[in-house]
Structures are given as C-alpha cells and as structure tokens.
Amino acid sequence: MTILYIDDDSDDREFFREAVRYIDPAITCHTSKDGAQGLKELEEMIIMPDFIFLDVNMPVMNGKQFLLEIKQRPRLRTIPVVIYSTTNHPVERNDFMTLGAYKVLAKPSSLTSISALVKSVLRYDAPEPMHLQSST
C-alpha cells in the first residue's frame, strides 16, 4: 500500500509518517509540502498511491485547488482523496465532498489518535473475509 500525504507543516508530516509506520511498516508513505509539489510527485510516480491525505490550508496550491486539479486528470481522478485538516466546518465539508473528496476528517492531535484515524480509513474499504460454508 502507498499513501501520499500533502501538508505544509513539517511536524504534521513527520507525525503522519510515524503513525503510518506504527500501523504497518510495509506501507510506503510519500509526503509533499503543498499541492503543487504533490502534483509533481504524482506525475513522476509509476504506480499511483492507494490514498492521498490532503491538508486544506497551504501556500502555493491549497487543498481545494489540488483536489480540483486531480479530478480533471484521468490518470489521477480515481485516487481516493481524504481531506485531513484542522478545518472541519460543515459547509467546507460539503464543498469538498461535492468536489469529489473520499472523506473529510478532522486532524487529531496525538500520535495514537492519528494512527487510529488513518487505520480506520485504510481498512474502510478492505473486503470482508470470505466465509466458507460447509455443506451438510
């Protein structure tokens, strides 16, 4: 599994990386400091990430501009984008969902809470295990 996390705060990027390593060290976590750098990184990737976690308030290219941009690009538009920000206003939440965000989540403050939240997203679409029925 591969994740791209875009956030202008270097401490938040490091906490996120630590949380992902705690969940599963095999998960690859790329980070970018703003939407423009995130787009550049996506253009250079051969295999697209399974999820993008995206902050909203960033310089150069903010989260909304980034989301609008990738939803116009056929190669990128199907990647689930999780808005992951301290901003959690209901109107903004609806706007992001309308623009194609997969989820809108409030950024927690502790490493344990970050791990739990990220884990819930990564497991959200995991298929249910198949149960074999015995024939009697």
Per residue in 53-77, pLDDT (tens digit) is: 999 999 999 999 999 999 999 999 9
| Enclosing domain of residue 36 | 2-119
| Residue 128, domain member (yes or no) | no
Residue listed under structure tokens 């309308």: 98
| Residue 126, domain member (yes or no) | no
pTM of the predicted model as reported, rounded to 2 decimal places: 0.85
Residue bearing the bigger pLDDT, 66 or 87: 66
Is residue 19 predicted with pLDDT exceeding 70?
A: yes
Query: How many distinct structural domains can be found in the chain?
Result: 1
**Do 54 and 105 touch, CB atoms closer than 8 A?**
no
CATH of the domain at 81: 3.40.50.2300
| Residue 133, domain member (yes or no) | no
**Cα–Cα dist 93/99, whole Å:** 10
| Residue 129, domain member (yes or no) | no
Burial class of residue 121 (count of CB atoms within 10 Å of its CB; 0-12, 13-18, 19+): middle
- Residues with Cβ < 8 Å from 61, sequence gap 6 or more? 34, 35, 36, 38, 39, 69
Per residue in 116-134, pLDDT (tens digit) is: 889 888 874 433 333 333 3
Average pLDDT over residues 89-108: 89
Looking at every residue in the chain, the average pLDDT score rounds to: 86
Average pLDDT over residues 11-19: 93
